[in-house]
Structure 1
Amino acid sequence: MTEVRDGLAEIGRHYDERTPIGEEFREGQLHMWYWYDREDEATLPQAVHRVTRKVTDTLGLRPGEHVLDAGCGPGETALFLARQHGVKVTGVTVSGFELARARGRAEDAGLSDLVDFRYGDFMDLPFPDGSFDAVLALESLQNAPDLGQVLRELYRVLRPGGRIAFSDFSLGEPGEPERVEQFMTTLKLPVLPTLEEWLGHVRGAGFAVEEFTQCGPRVFGMKGKYLHAAMGQRDQVAGKFGEERLAEFSRVHRGFFVPRKDQIGYAIVCARKPR
């Protein structure tokens, strides 16, 4: 258990360092973007919000339901769910910065009665069996040291008939593994499953897979559009955080951009706990 907790502390530090500038570029969200093609004129925050909608729409949320946001980031996604669907959301994160940021957002938005954020390990959750109607995990499962364990834990806290939806990176075309290794090291990924391997992990935890898609070409495949959009915000972000801190942020993320566009996929999966 000590080894797992040490790993959690490392992931927490990773997001403490990454999130402040990362969310600045994305207006309160931290996950990937989605552009249809090079001519798509959506801004970076708009492209990021497309991923939010694509993943959360698969859950079919209903007013009054209780959602677990497993790896909630700086909180904007949970607030969107509460506003858009009238659901109660409990978010967990291992990042102290994200926790404070998310709680501040909820208070500023007047949504503290619907949205609750906690510091917590999604591999060992402090909730009774069947506590939630739905689970959302946006690019957070990939940091788990044991995918089987975290999926079984999320299965446990879902009620029978409850749904889980997640998005995560997946392994695309083979070749030049050193490029993929740099990508994984940058994001602190212990594994990078293929789409089929992701589905195998989900089914192995007891879930029935209901929907899945592989949209890597419109996500990682559009990394060039991200870089262009980020450069357009560079001076604004540098003015807030300083040139030195922005340069360090860029340096530690270089490995993210090393793989070819076809080497990194992006999987969206929705599954249900049988009744």
Structure 2
Amino acid sequence: MAEMTANPTDIGKHYDERAPIGDEFRGGQLHMWYWYDRDDDAPLPEAVHRVTRKVTDVLGLRTGEHVLDAGCGSGEASLFLARRHGVRVTGVTVSDYELDTARRRAATAGLTDMADFRYGDYMRLPFEDGTFDAVLALESLQNAPDLPTVLGELFRVLRPGGRIAFSDFSLENPGGEPERVERFMTTLKLPALPTLHEWLEHVRAAGFEVEEYTSCGPRVFGMKGKYLQAAMARREEVAGKFGEADIAEFSRLHRGFFAPRKDQIGYVVVCARRPR
């Protein structure tokens, strides 16, 4: 399988192109959804928010802690943490659209004193050692051009005893029709697609102690048909806001995302701790 690398500017442009319409469909968040089964009638934004809760709950956040949202998207997850847990959140992104939107949402919510958003590359974080109590990374590590470097940076900026929680895609079934997975990786600009075991090995190699992990691909990528159904139900409404040409381009950009079979793409949630 061919490897692909992308610099922060490329990744920022990638999300600038996709985030506005993706935000509209998913209620302000860009990451994946979680449906229990085909009969689950949760709206798409609620299904997406389930992933936010699933990943952030394992952090065990306490009021007053300082959290780094590494690859913060348009800020909804950060604002959720500030409201629900009373924590301070610093979000970093390489997308200009996401940064502007996150700052605007924080101001509208009256949370600028608790949620600060900055343009920043997690390969070279502008923070002192041990700055944060916890790190959140919702589907952002997968775009790292050098995963060991990024995990090393996140380890560095965490205090001893600090926690990291992330969710990302994984390679679930490496055999058969690898070209489908390759189209998926190219579409999402993934330099690599680790298995669950490989994700855990990367985390441990960076010095973290893995405390919890789960693989829930069938309820995430396995429900891509429900996403398409939900998106099509709102297509005309969203086209009225953005224009038919933009919707058509958004669909074209995402075509490769749907190429893999349901059993080929997994989804992992991992929580680990920097040793005390």
Displacement of 1:235 in angstroms is 1.0
Q: Which residue of 2 aligns with 1:75?
A: 75
Map 1:181-200 onto structure 2 (within 5 A): 181-200=182-201
Map 1:232-243 onto structure 2 (within 5 A): 232-243=233-244
Displacement of 1:128 in angstroms is 0.2
* 3-state SS, counterpart of residue 38 of structure 2: coil
Q: Which residue of 1 aligns with 2:28?
A: 28
Q: Which residue of 2 aligns with 1:180?
A: 181
C-alpha distance after superposition, 1:212-259 (max 9, x if no partner): 000000000000000000011111110000000000000110000000
Residue 215 of structure 1 aligns with an amino acid whose one-letter code is C
Segments of structure 1 that go 5 or more residues without pairing to the other structure are: none
Asked if structure 1 preserves the Cα contact closer than 8 Å seen for 2:6 and 2:145, the reply is no
Asked if structure 1 preserves the Cα contact closer than 8 Å seen for 2:12 and 2:95, the reply is yes
Measure the CA separation in 1 of the matches of 2:6 and 2:198: 26
Map 1:115-154 onto structure 2 (within 5 A): 115-154=115-154
Measure the CA separation in 2 of the matches of 1:54 and 1:6: 29
C-alpha distance after superposition, 1:39-58 (max 9, x if no partner): 00100000000000000000
Residue 144 of structure 1 aligns with an amino acid whose one-letter code is A
Q: Which residue of 1 aligns with 2:113?
A: 113
Segments of structure 2 that go 5 or more residues without pairing to the other structure are: none
Q: Which residue of 2 aligns with 1:257?
A: 258
* 3-state SS, counterpart of residue 212 of structure 1: strand
Asked if structure 1 preserves the Cα contact closer than 8 Å seen for 2:221 and 2:267, the reply is yes
Asked if structure 1 preserves the Cα contact closer than 8 Å seen for 2:210 and 2:270, the reply is yes
Residue 85 of structure 2 aligns with an amino acid whose one-letter code is H
Q: Which residue of 1 aligns with 2:203?
A: 202
Q: Which residue of 1 aligns with 2:158?
A: 158
RMSD: 0.9
Measure the CA separation in 1 of the matches of 2:152 and 2:173: 29
* 3-state SS, counterpart of residue 259 of structure 1: coil
Displacement of 1:33 in angstroms is 0.1
Map 1:35-50 onto structure 2 (within 5 A): 35-50=35-50
C-alpha distance after superposition, 1:35-90 (max 9, x if no partner): 00000010000000000000000000000000000000000110000000000000
Q: 1:228 to 1:6 in 2, by over 3 A?
A: closer
Measure the CA separation in 1 of the matches of 2:91 and 2:54: 19
Displacement of 1:28 in angstroms is 0.6
Q: Which residue of 1 aligns with 2:99?
A: 99
* 3-state SS, counterpart of residue 253 of structure 1: helix
Residue 224 of structure 2 aligns with an amino acid whose one-letter code is K
Measure the CA separation in 2 of the matches of 1:74 and 1:209: 28
Q: Which residue of 2 aligns with 1:60?
A: 60
C-alpha distance after superposition, 1:138-196 (max 9, x if no partner): 00000000110100100000000000000000001122110000000000000000000
C-alpha distance after superposition, 1:201-221 (max 9, x if no partner): 000000000000000000000
Residue 102 of structure 2 aligns with an amino acid whose one-letter code is A
- Relative to the length of structure 1, the TM-score reads 0.98
* 3-state SS, counterpart of residue 7 of structure 2: helix
How many residues are matched? 271
Asked if structure 1 preserves the Cα contact closer than 8 Å seen for 2:6 and 2:189, the reply is no
Displacement of 1:6 in angstroms is 6.9
Identical aligned residues as a percent = 77
Measure the CA separation in 2 of the matches of 1:28 and 1:171: 27
Measure the CA separation in 2 of the matches of 1:36 and 1:52: 15
Measure the CA separation in 1 of the matches of 2:30 and 2:204: 27
Q: Which residue of 1 aligns with 2:12?
A: 12
